């Protein structure tokens, strides 16, 4: 049997979930013996946001998606990734609930942009119009399940390395992860 194909995606998140993935430490070696990383910001820095980098997202068995959906690029990336993933996991609380990025839902988009790029800017005060610099923000930040079907929800801010390992191991062994308090918690 060939290796399981895994991808990870970074939308509107702080990268903490990916850092937790790296906390698998020596288990990454074990994982690399049965799985292949097809696409991940861990292995290619360009895969943070630019939509064009995701046009070539490969067909994979499992994708973990970190972060909430905050802009129009995130929506497009997520749809591409969903189409090409057999199993899609909402990876961490931002992907599941919106979490920290969703704090901005308390304000209007224009007010947020003006505050960041004009009122609090110390030089070059203007809201960037180039989509590569700031993709168009959605009116509201939403969890990824509002855009695509999600197969599993891996809670935590970030999820612990142990819960990531447990979930991936179950899926590699064709078992359903058990959503017990021990393995899954918010925050």
Residue 73 binding ligand SF4, by CB under 6 A: no
Asked if residue 29 lies in contact with residue 52, where contact means CB atoms within 8 angstroms, the answer is no
| Closest by Cα among 58, 50, 65, 61 to 135 | 50
Which segments within 23-107 are labelled E, that is strand? 35-39, 60-66, 69-71, 85-91
Which residue's C-beta sits nearest to ligand SF4? 16
Q: Shortest approach of ligand SF4 to residue 91 CB, angstroms?
A: 8
Which span sits near ligand SF4 by CB under 6 A: 31-39, 89-97, 109-117, 145-153?
89-97
Residue 167 and residue 178: Cα distance in Å, rounded? 9
Which span sits near ligand SF4 by CB under 6 A: 13-21, 26-34, 135-143, 175-183?
13-21
Residue 92 binding ligand SF4, by CB under 6 A: yes
Residue 17 binding ligand SF4, by CB under 6 A: yes
Asked if residue 60 lies in contact with residue 89, where contact means CB atoms within 8 angstroms, the answer is no
| Closest by Cα among 81, 31, 75 to 57 | 81
Burial class of residue 53 (count of CB atoms within 10 Å of its CB; 0-12, 13-18, 19+): middle
Residue 94 binding ligand SF4, by CB under 6 A: yes
Residue 64 binding ligand SF4, by CB under 6 A: no
Residue 4 binding ligand SF4, by CB under 6 A: no
Residue 87 and residue 101: Cα distance in Å, rounded? 25
Which span sits near ligand SF4 by CB under 6 A: 22-30, 43-51, 86-94, 133-141?
86-94
Which span sits near ligand SF4 by CB under 6 A: 8-16, 114-122, 146-154, 162-170?
8-16
Residue 98 binding ligand SF4, by CB under 6 A: no
Asked if residue 150 lies in contact with residue 121, where contact means CB atoms within 8 angstroms, the answer is no
Residue 7 binding ligand SF4, by CB under 6 A: no
Question: Which residues are 68's β-sheet partners?
Answer: 12
Q: Which is nearer to ligand SF4, 4 or 96 (CB)?
A: 96
Q: Which residues bind ligand SF4 (CB under 6 A)?
A: 13-14, 16-17, 66-67, 92-94, 99-100, 157-158
């Amino acid at each position: 049997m060939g290796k399981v194909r895994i991808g990870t995606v970074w939308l509107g998140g702080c990268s903490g979930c990916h850092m937790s993935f790296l906390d698998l430490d020596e288990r990454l070696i074990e994982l690399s013996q049965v799985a292949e990383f097809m696409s991940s910001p861990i292995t290619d820095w360009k895969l943070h946001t630019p939509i064009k980098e995701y046009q070539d997202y490969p067909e994979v068995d499992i994708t973990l998606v970190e972060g909430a959906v905050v802009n129009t690029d995130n929506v497009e990336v997520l749809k591409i990734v969903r189409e090409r993933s057999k199993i899609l996991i909402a990876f961490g609380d931002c992907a599941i609930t919106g979490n920290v990025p969703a704090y901005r839902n308390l304000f209007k988009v224009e007010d947020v942009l003006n505050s960041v790029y004009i009122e609090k800017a110390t030089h070059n005060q203007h809201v960037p119009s180039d989509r590569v610099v700031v993709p168009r923000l959605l009116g509201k930040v939403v969890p990824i399940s509002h855009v695509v079907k999600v197969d599993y929800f891996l809670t935590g801010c970030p999820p612990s390395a142990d819960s990531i390992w447990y979930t991936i191991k179950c899926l590699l062994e064709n078992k359903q992860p058990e959503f017990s308090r021990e393995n899954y918690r918010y925050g």
